[in-house]
Amino acid sequence: MIMVLLEVKNLSTHFFLKESRVRAVDDVCFTIAQGKTLGVAGESGCGKTTTALSIMRMLPPAGKIVNGEIFLDGVDLLKKSKEEMRQAKWKELSYVFQYAMNAFNPVMTVGEQIAEVIIEKENSKSKSVKKEAWKKVKESFEIVGLDPDRIKNYPHEFSGGMKQRAIIAMAMACDPKLLIADEPVTALDVIVEKKILKLLKEIQSNYNLGIMFITHDLSVIAESCDDVAIMYAGKMVEVGDASTVFHKGAHPYTRMLIRSFPSILGECKRIEPISGIPPDLANPPPGCRFHPRCPLASKECREDIPPFESFSSSRHHVACFHAGETIL
């Protein structure tokens, strides 16, 4: 029995700019199971990060969640008050940011920054809590494979890979149920990337952690995710388990995206870029948002928005009128 950890239903997040309204995330649905990883992929600007920030309720001032529900363990995060949300952060769900290199405050030690969040979540400043917190900091350093003697070091004394480990240690400090990792390995070299991915896997199986893994790199997803969600222009186009999406992807965008990635081990073939550019989200095309770039586009696609329906199995959803049709 798969236990659902996170369920996002019909989430729409729009940015209200001076003269326009950017539909950055539009009617997005997906779930993450306990102890599983969902990889979210798509081009830059397709709404991956906005979706994640909506879950954290940390949108910039112009961004507003206009519709939808976000259930974490059965509780709607959007119904929480600001204060309840603040308390839930890090205890229930934590976040590893893009550009992790600057995620630590340069004038505080790494240990301090991990300890402070543990202490604040305890809501007490007694000596024993502080002592306990520092003990946990040491443990968390050990878990991520860092030398516990370095908790009193400053961020600039750490290398990139070490910082990334420290950030994961920080994210795990309060034993959250869900970890949102936004491009956690993009800035790292391939070898460190491998190690960090392995570390995440280990932690996940030890702590039954759900992970939402955002990346634009399909090979990283193939390597580390159970499920895959493909986003295009603020819409979810295909969700399913990794092997289904990679081998039997039904949405033309999914298939073209996979084809545009080179494979090292597979046969040597020409990679095919997707022609055209993503649409302006302040003024999206009517119907399916992918139709201007889609080789299968028909009249229907230009007029109606394709519903997000189950396709080959109950866990495989696709939003396309021509799902599964062959691309010439």
Partner 1 sequence: MSLKGYISRRAFDSGFLLILTVIFNFVLFRVMPGNPALAVLGRTGQVRPEFRQVLQERYGTNLPIFDQFIIYIQRLLEGDLGVSFYYYPTEVSELIFGHRLLNTILLMGISILLSFILAIIFGTIAASKFKSKTDLVSIFVTLTSYSTPVFWLGMLIIFYFFGQFHLIPLSGSPRIEDPKYADIFAWAIDYCYHLIGPVTTLTISFVGAWFLIARDQMLGIFLEDYITTARAKGLKERRVLFTHARKNAMLPMISVLAMAMTYLVSGATLTETVFSWDGLGLLTFDAVTYSDYPLLQGLFLLVAAVAIVSSFIADIIYAYLDPRIRY
117 binds partner 1 (CB under 8 A): yes
121 binds partner 1 (CB under 8 A): yes
Tokens of 237: 């186009």
140 binds partner 1 (CB under 8 A): no
103 binds partner 1 (CB under 8 A): yes
Separation CA 82–CA 90 (nearest Å): 14
Span interacting with partner 1, options 79-87, 196-204, 227-235, 262-270, rule CB under 8 A: 79-87
The number of beta carbons lying within 10 Å of the beta carbon of residue 167 is 27
The DSSP bridge partners found for residue 212 are 38, 180
> With respect to partner 1, which residue has the nearer C-beta, 173 or 318?
173
120 binds partner 1 (CB under 8 A): yes
Burial environment of residue 129 by CB neighbours within 10 A (0 to 12, 13 to 18, 19 or more): middle
> With respect to partner 1, which residue has the nearer C-beta, 105 or 126?
105
Q: Least CB distance from residue 210 to partner 1, whole Å?
A: 17
Three-point CA angle 197, 201, 205, nearest 5°: 170
How many residues belong to the site for partner 1 (CB under 8 A)? 27
Q: Tokens 């939402």 identify what position?
A: 212
Span interacting with partner 1, options 71-79, 81-89, 216-224, 235-243, rule CB under 8 A: 81-89
Angle, in degrees to the nearest 10, between helices 110-122 and 160-171: 10
Q: Which of 85, 197, 199, 258 binds partner 1 (CB under 8 A)?
A: 85
Q: Tokens 């819409």 identify what position?
A: 235
Q: Which of 1, 107, 190, 277 binds partner 1 (CB under 8 A)?
A: 107
Residue length of the chain = 328
Q: Least CB distance from residue 171 to partner 1, whole Å?
A: 9
Separation CA 199–CA 179 (nearest Å): 13
Interface residues with partner 1 (CB under 8 A) are 56, 58, 85-91, 94-95, 97, 99, 102-108, 116-117, 120-121, 154, 156, 170
